[in-house]
Chain A
Amino acid sequence: MSAKLKINGQEREFADAFPATLAELLHCLNIDRATVVAEIDGKIVPRAEFDATPLHENANIELVRFVGGG
């Protein structure tokens, strides 16, 4: 069985390691959680809630990553 997520407009399939939470997804994508703003299905998810935010199949996830400089 495999499950899909839509990440920044691109569908991505997870064969047997579907991430249970947003934090797991970021870990799996190798993204530093301190520098990302996340939205799931159009709703902003505060960084403090990444660990406790479950992911469902076909969730529409937007990740905005920041790099330093200003």
Chain B
Amino acid sequence: MSLHTFFELKNAVVGIAGLGGLGSNVAVALTRLKVGKLILADYDVIEESNLNRQNYFYDQIGRHKVDVSLENLRRINPEANLVGHKVRLAPDNIPRVFAEAHVVAECFDRADQKQMIVETVLSKMKNTIIVTVSGLAGFGKSNDIRTVRLSPRLVLVGDGVSGTAAGAPLTAGRVGVAAYHQANAIAEILLNDLRSVLLGNKL
């Protein structure tokens, strides 16, 4: 990685909404990319059933995902600038929790929650880009998962149709493909779209 690229990512702030199968893995990728600051938000605790796809360990069951994520990410980079919010995200607190973020990663599980945060960011946070995910259940069909720019501030990852409502399982491979699409889309946004913002705004 060139010095220039490193500098740009160091000035970036990314919010991660939800630390499940998507968020826990997106957080790992963005930590390894040395994104300057990550704002993590989740209210949940780790359950044994999460370990099939989420970046947690058996001895961490029962603990809050935010607390454990902070520990795990600091094992990757002890100097990572991380902020954790143990909170249930809603339209009234999202603009405050993610106020500093250039990009927000939507990493929720439920369809109505995905709708809620995308609507909130697009309508209330005029300078923030959101990268959201829809359609990642099941296994295989890796190449059906795509990254599409729907509008200047909205990027959609997924196949658009594979939901959990019909009983399809969430599996490590396919959720991981989507999570790394999401992390890669964020890196692309930071390095392309936000280049001038990040260079001019030395946080």
Q: Mark B16-55, 1 if CB is under 8 A from A, else 0.
A: 0010111100000000000000000000000000000000
Contacts of A66 in B (CB 8 A): 111-112, 114-115, 118, 132, 134
Which of these, B109, B112, B154, B168, contacts A34 with CB under 8 Å?
A: B112
Which of these, B115, B119, B135, B151, contacts A62 with CB under 8 Å?
A: B151
Distance of A34 Cα from B111 Cα, bound (Å): 8
Task: State whether B115 touches A47 (Cβ < 8 A).
Answer: yes
The answer to whether the Cβ of A65 comes within 8 Å of any Cβ in the partner chain is yes
**In angstroms, how far is the closest chain A Cβ from the Cβ of B92?**
13
Stretch from A22-30, A36-44, A51-59 contacting the other chain: A36-44
With most chain A CB atoms within 10 A of its CB, the pick from B115, B133, B151, B158 is: B115
**In angstroms, how far is the closest chain A Cβ from the Cβ of B127?**
15
The answer to whether the Cβ of A64 comes within 8 Å of any Cβ in the partner chain is yes
Contacts of B136 in A (CB 8 A): 69-70
Which residue of chain A lies nearest to B165 when distances are taken between CB atoms in the complex? A68
Which residue of chain A lies nearest to B91 when distances are taken between CB atoms in the complex? A46
**In angstroms, how far is the closest chain A Cβ from the Cβ of B54?**
10
Interface size on A, residues (CB 8 A): 17
Which residue of chain A lies nearest to B138 when distances are taken between CB atoms in the complex? A69
Task: State whether A68 touches B164 (Cβ < 8 A).
Answer: yes
Distance of A64 Cα from B117 Cα, bound (Å): 13
Indicate whether A68 sits within 8 Å of B110 (C-beta atoms), given known contacts A44-B119, A62-B150.
Answer: yes
Distance of A36 Cα from B123 Cα, bound (Å): 14
Indicate whether A69 sits within 8 Å of B164 (C-beta atoms), given known contacts A46-B119, A47-B115, A64-B156.
Answer: yes
Contacts of A69 in B (CB 8 A): 21, 109, 133, 135-137, 162-164, 168, 170, 175
The answer to whether the Cβ of B107 comes within 8 Å of any Cβ in the partner chain is yes
Contacts of B164 in A (CB 8 A): 67-69
The answer to whether the Cβ of B180 comes within 8 Å of any Cβ in the partner chain is no
**In angstroms, how far is the closest chain A Cβ from the Cβ of B169?**
9
The answer to whether the Cβ of B122 comes within 8 Å of any Cβ in the partner chain is yes
Task: State whether A34 touches B123 (Cβ < 8 A).
Answer: no
* Contacting residues of chain B (76-107) with chain A, CB-CB under 8 angstroms: 107
Distance of A70 Cα from B137 Cα, bound (Å): 8
Q: Mark B158-176, 1 if CB is under 8 A from A, else 0.
A: 1011111100101000010
The answer to whether the Cβ of B56 comes within 8 Å of any Cβ in the partner chain is no
Which 5 residue pairs spanning A and B have beta carbons closest together? A67-B163, A35-B111, A70-B109, A66-B111, A66-B114
